[in-house]
Structure 1
Amino acid sequence: MSSGLTGYLVLAGVGVVGALLFAASMTARRLLAPRAPSPAKLTTYESGVDPVTGGWAQSHIRYVAYAFLYVVFAVDAVYLFPWALVLRNHRLGVVSLVEMGIFIAVVLVGLLHAARRGLLTWSDHKEPQ
């Protein structure tokens, strides 16, 4: 077998094993979990608040900013791990180091902007500008 296909076979094997584990866990949950449905258990429940109106509710725009900051830092964390692996290669190490410096600078500019606008405070009385 060609050495180029070995990686794909491993990837396919991991995918099949993952799908089998998922199916096995769902089957075990279905067989072992207690079932006692009642009208109270079948109602919609979200964040500790009982639904009293329709599905649309007005939210504060500040939560969108928090979600955006979370996404930025999650992407930052996902990008740092492969970068650490590439940095070991001496040819790509310097280029990767410069790229990461630029990336971290952009993230820091965004963080400083969010801090300057007051988005990183937890008090309710301070509104973003």
Structure 2
Amino acid sequence: MTTPLAPYLPLAVVLLLAGVLAMIIPQVTSRLGPKRPSSTKSSPFEAGSESSGPARQRFAVKFYVIALLFIVFDVEAVFLYPWAVNFQALGWFGYMEMLVFASTLVVGLIYVWKKGALDWES
């Protein structure tokens, strides 16, 4: 006799295992890891460079615009792969759908380009 939730048992086991490992691994590394503190290890580290300026420094809005653009085009790539896999099954309708989707993104890219959001120097 199976219950409606029986297919979800493997998922529950994986989630339980992930939760247990998320609690155990930090504990094990803190107990078994090396403990040799020094002033060099305690100083802030920023990509191999010495820290400059306060930690609460404001970022330019341009940084966030570029980050959002990256996410938009990353999502486009995520939609593009399943479409390419099912291209023959979708036929012309699927081709037109992707053409509309890609053209809206191209129009958005042209708009952002004309606004100068991709210029790092300005």
- The answer to whether the superposition gives a TM-score over 0.5 is yes
Change (3 A) 1:78 1:29: farther
Unmatched 5+ stretches in structure 1? none
Instruction: Give the Cα separation in 1 of the matches to 2:73 and 2:50.
Output: 29
The percent identity for this pair of structures is: 28
Q: CA RMSD in A?
A: 3.4
1:61-80 matches, within 5 Å, as 61-80=61-80
| Structure richer in helix, relative to its length | 2
Alignment partner of 1:60 is 2:60: yes
- Give the residue type in structure 1 aligned to 2:36: A
Gaps of 5+ in 2: none
Shift of 1:15: 1.0
Residues 1:108 and 2:109 are matched in the alignment: no
1:46 CA displacement: 3.5
TM-score (norm 1): 0.62
Indicate if the aligned counterparts of 1:45 and 1:51 stay in contact, CA closer than 8 A: no
State TM-score, norm by structure 2: 0.64
The answer as to 2:37 corresponding to 1:37 is yes
Pairwise CA distance, 1:116:
2.8
